[in-house]
Structure 1
């Protein structure tokens, strides 16, 4: 069977260290159990237990640190990153969310920061730190041409940052936030890094969302936040390019999260139908239900096959091989939209049961 199954996954498709991390992650969630996962979701509990587990097992450090900046088994490898995306989506999108926005936050750092900043990020990852990506703003959304965050020169080689960002994951606890802005004097684009615990950083509020309840989606403001040359990640064209390339890398993860969600929802729907007897028949024997499951499986298998091919092109990309630029946006947009169709189909089977609070399916409906 092409779908991920935590009961049967043996990690044969990855190296030993990655296998160890993935199997331990599966074990963490299996021991936590669906009941506790749902309780935490309903109470919007910040996932300290999950982040502590990732810190203990050095998951962030191993999977999100490029070669040469961490331990010998650390590397940025889209294949094993995709595997983790799928597993986290399978158990709960909120867990995937803190992982994914950390990937976004790290993008400008690994692409164009100074060596000093890269080593600083590697140390923070080793310490279990999470990251954030300060791009969108309340007034402008994804229109980064119109960003109002400004970096003001002080005349002595240093700067202060003023402005706010909106809908920023991990904005409450990020060890570093990569912030996109403009130079106040020239209008030049610039990326710089800030610490969410600095007194000039204000976490304004948690934005309430129907999905990823445990995640912290923040609005934050910088009030004359002091910036030095060491904090600047990129300027001008490089700053602009790194924002788009970070989105290319980070938003690709959305497709794998949808695949994970749909897979768990598929199993739960099948289990429900196979154990429900109506009119003297098991629900899985009804012709229209067979059709629904067949279509849902076909769509889900196609999602996963496309994701695997997109992952290949992400791994092999270079200045000449740019096929990822075609596959990546389709992975982000079309695969996730297919995920909505899959959950919709399965909901025709689960019906009212899909809304009950003790099911994974109820969470899938909100998060997909």
Structure 2
């Protein structure tokens, strides 16, 4: 199993649609270049060019839509999702973050019995939408038992939602936000969906983050947000189980994102060392430096192999001896 090298990405083990998305993603970032990626990170601004790419390439629609809710070429495949996490994080964790948060937001939808919301999500993905997962709260973090988001039943059978969520990725432009809360009268857990462009959805602020600066990590408040049974994904034990299953699926992506980051860092350090001379020798000719690179090469391989065991099959980054990529 070779290091991930976008310049020598072996697409032979992928179906045509997967290969096309992977190649288009590499082409997008290579055209963007390392200088612009760094500038975007330093500015910490939202990335409209990247979200436009998501829409135009159909990347999220292809990788995050179950076949029955897609266009016939999509599938929700964990192995493929992990590969894409690794690839996007290679270029920057901010790009992988939008993808991972979308996966989190979609998981309670796909696990639910609400066919109408599933169809809404499928259409939103085809239209280039991204998604958000509204679980954590400022005072409680991810302590689900302390969740203060409430749904109050109304006499006409609808509900009014009140509460705030904190540290929510894609909170600014998500097509749908899957939100975890509780019924005000019974205390039962509930998952439901809201739309950020609704007047009762208040986007409070972007939260400063050092690791994913261009991404949007936000705080939002729902003030008497009206929903109906058509917006509810699950209740009671099903909602509780969906919350934990979503975290298991979504946070698992972090391991592959870390592997992508480490591989890029490896290339950067190797390239730097290979172009430095000390005492009339290239730095990479010193035996102790070679030992360090070999050790870290093996450590990163170990990371990938350990994580891949939980996926069930090896990622398709199998290829020739890598040469340094452009970034």
Please give the range of the TM-score, normalised by the shorter of the 2 chains. Answer: over 0.9
Give the number of the structure whose residues are more often helix, by fraction. Answer: 1
For 2:212 and 2:133, the matched residues in 1 are separated by 17
Residue 14 of structure 2 aligns to a residue whose secondary structure is coil
Q: CA deviation at 1:286?
A: 1.6
Residue 311 of structure 1 aligns to a residue whose secondary structure is coil
Equivalence for 1:185: 185
Equivalence for 2:151: 151
When the two structures are aligned, how many residues end up with a matched partner? 316
Residue 243 of structure 1 aligns to a residue whose secondary structure is helix
Residue 111 of structure 2 aligns to a residue whose secondary structure is helix
Q: CA deviation at 1:294?
A: 1.4
Q: CA deviation at 1:57?
A: 1.4
Q: CA deviation at 1:82?
A: 1.2
Equivalence for 1:198: 198
Q: CA deviation at 1:169?
A: 0.2
Q: Does 1:133 align with 2:117?
A: no
Residue 67 of structure 2 aligns to a residue whose secondary structure is coil
For 2:310 and 2:293, the matched residues in 1 are separated by 25
Q: CA deviation at 1:84?
A: 0.8
Q: CA deviation at 1:156?
A: 1.6
Equivalence for 2:46: 46
Q: Which has the higher contact order (CA 8 A, sep 6+)?
A: 2
Q: CA deviation at 1:44?
A: 1.1
For 2:20 and 2:306, the matched residues in 1 are separated by 26
For 1:13 and 1:140, the matched residues in 2 are separated by 44
Residue 247 of structure 1 aligns to a residue whose secondary structure is helix
Equivalence for 1:251: 251
Residue 7 of structure 1 aligns to a residue whose secondary structure is helix
For 1:81 and 1:22, the matched residues in 2 are separated by 11
For 2:202 and 2:2, the matched residues in 1 are separated by 46
8 Å CA contact retained: 1:14, 1:80: no
Q: CA deviation at 1:284?
A: 0.9
For 1:212 and 1:113, the matched residues in 2 are separated by 33
Q: CA deviation at 1:291?
A: 1.8
8 Å CA contact retained: 1:113, 1:232: no
249-258 or 71-80, which moves further after superposition? Answer: 71-80
Equivalence for 1:209: 209
Q: Does 1:163 align with 2:151?
A: no
Q: Does 1:119 align with 2:91?
A: no
Equivalence for 2:321: none
Show structure 1 runs of 5+ residues with no match: 315-358, 361-368
39-48 or 182-191, which moves further after superposition? Answer: 39-48
Residue 310 of structure 2 aligns to a residue whose secondary structure is helix
Equivalence for 1:338: none
8 Å CA contact retained: 1:137, 1:165: yes
RMSD value, Cα: 1.4
Q: CA deviation at 1:51?
A: 1.1
For 1:215 and 1:197, the matched residues in 2 are separated by 19
Equivalence for 1:304: 304
Residue 218 of structure 2 aligns to a residue whose secondary structure is strand
Equivalence for 1:13: 13
Equivalence for 1:260: 260
- Alignment of structure 1 residues 1-368 onto 2, 5 Å: 2-312=2-312
Measured against aligned partners, the alpha-carbon deviations of 1:163-220 in whole angstroms (never above 9, x if no partner) come to 0000000001111000000100000000010001100000101000111100110010
Residue 261 of structure 1 aligns to a residue whose secondary structure is helix
For 1:185 and 1:171, the matched residues in 2 are separated by 28
Q: CA deviation at 1:287?
A: 2.3
Residue 214 of structure 1 aligns to a residue whose secondary structure is coil
Q: CA deviation at 1:155?
A: 2.0
For 2:263 and 2:118, the matched residues in 1 are separated by 36
Equivalence for 1:351: none
- Report the TM-score, using the length of structure 2 for normalisation: 0.94
Measured against aligned partners, the alpha-carbon deviations of 1:14-58 in whole angstroms (never above 9, x if no partner) come to 111100110110011001100111111111121111111110111
Residue 68 of structure 2 aligns to a residue whose secondary structure is coil
8 Å CA contact retained: 2:202, 2:220: yes
Q: CA deviation at 1:313?
A: 7.7
For 1:91 and 1:205, the matched residues in 2 are separated by 26
Equivalence for 1:336: none
